[in-house]
Structure 1
Amino acid sequence: MRAGLIVIGVVLLAAGVWITIGNGSYKQTDTVAKLGPAEITATHQKSIPQWVGIAGIVIGGVLAIGGFVSKR
């Protein structure tokens, strides 16, 4: 359990830093027009909001510290 908390915390911490420095993004595809069987789609590159990265850093840090400090 202790090692699991540490691993999850470090992964969340790393993902949070990656998102916060601006490298986190995803693609969203929208249907622009549809006429019968034909349709026109557009793909947009959107960035993940910075608050998600900050939340990942905070939660990952708490989990990692909790894993290191927990007594057994």
Structure 2
Amino acid sequence: MRAILTIVGIVLLVGGLWVVFGHASYTQTDTLVQLGSAKLTATHDKAIPQWMGISGIVVGALLALGGLMSKR
């Protein structure tokens, strides 16, 4: 159990750092006009919010420390 907590904590910590330092984004595609089978779309790159990265760092650090400090 403590190995799982540690691994999940480290993954969340690394993911949170990746988001905070600005390398995380996702692509959103919107349909602007559709006429029959033809459609006009627009693609936007959006950044993942900063608060999600910070919360990932905090939760990941707590899980990793909980896994390392466990007495079993």
Q: TM-score, normalised by structure 2?
A: 0.97
Query: In the TM superposition, what is the alpha-carbon distance from 1:37 to its structure 2 partner?
Result: 1.1
Equivalent in the alignment of 2:35: 35
Query: In the TM superposition, what is the alpha-carbon distance from 1:67 to its structure 2 partner?
Result: 0.1
Q: Percent identity?
A: 58
Equivalent in the alignment of 1:68: 68
Q: TM-score, normalised by structure 1?
A: 0.97
- The number of aligned residues is 72
Equivalent in the alignment of 1:47: 47
- Deviations for 1:14-64, whole angstroms, at most 9, x for unmatched residues? 000010011110000000100111111111000000000000000000000
Indicate whether 1:3 and 2:3 are aligned: yes
C-alpha separation between the residues in 2 aligned to 1:21 and 1:40? 33
Amino acid at match of 1:30: D
Structure 1 runs (4+) greater than 6 angstroms displaced: none
**What runs of 5+ residues in structure 2 fail to find an aligned partner?**
none
